[in-house]
Amino acid sequence: MAAAPARDELRRLHFINALFADVTGDNLYLAQQIQEAITFSLAELAEQTRANPDLAAKYDAEFNAAAARLLGTLFAAQPRHGFFHWDALSTTTSATPLFARAELMAGLKKLAPYRESTLLVTNLRPALLPPDKRETPRRRRDYEAALTFIQDLAAARTAPSAELRLLFL
């Protein structure tokens, strides 16, 4: 079981490298520096997770949220690059089709003036495939339909001359 923490760290490192590709330029050393900064900010929770491995899912969620906040800060410093973060777990109804469409449309309207922009979607999988519930075929279909819906909506509501990066965490 000692290999699991190392595998999780490697997964997080590649996640950070992909998420911050504009900054790291595929340099894993820079990605590791970003990962360590996020890990340092979560030191107390990391210690609790070492003592109680059941908190690993909470640690992953907090790590992803910290990475999303950092990415938002990075893009906020670039006035020519739009950024919108949609958290599917922000409310109990966010991931339902009607509310998801409304929230995503608001984000896409915010991104419309930018030639380059990033739309970050977080927690869609846990919202539709809760880890504490069984993954049924219907839940799996709903999740896949939501992915397709978001991709199609983003494609339809983005100008052909604009470059939109759609990231799912």
Residue reference for tokens 């760290």: 9
What is the number of other CB atoms lying within 10 angstroms of the CB of residue 28?
13
The total of other beta-carbon atoms located within 10 Å of residue 105's CB is 12
Distance (Å, whole) CA 33 – CA 144: 34
Domains of the chain, by residue range, sit at 1-77, 79-169
Distances in whole angstroms, Cα of residue 168 to Cα of each of 18, 47, 49, 116, 129: 11, 28, 25, 17, 15
Q: What is the pTM of this model?
A: 0.80
Q: What residue type is 8 in one-letter code?
A: D
Query: Would you write out the chain's pLDDT as a tens digit for each of its 169 residues?
Result: 444 667 888 888 888 888 888 888 878 888 899 999 998 888 888 888 888 877 777 888 888 888 888 988 888 888 899 999 998 888 777 778 888 899 999 999 999 999 999 999 988 998 898 888 899 999 999 999 999 999 999 999 999 999 999 988 8
Cβ of 55: how many Cβ atoms within 10 Å?
Answer: 15
How far, in whole angstroms, is CA 77 from its chain's centroid? 19
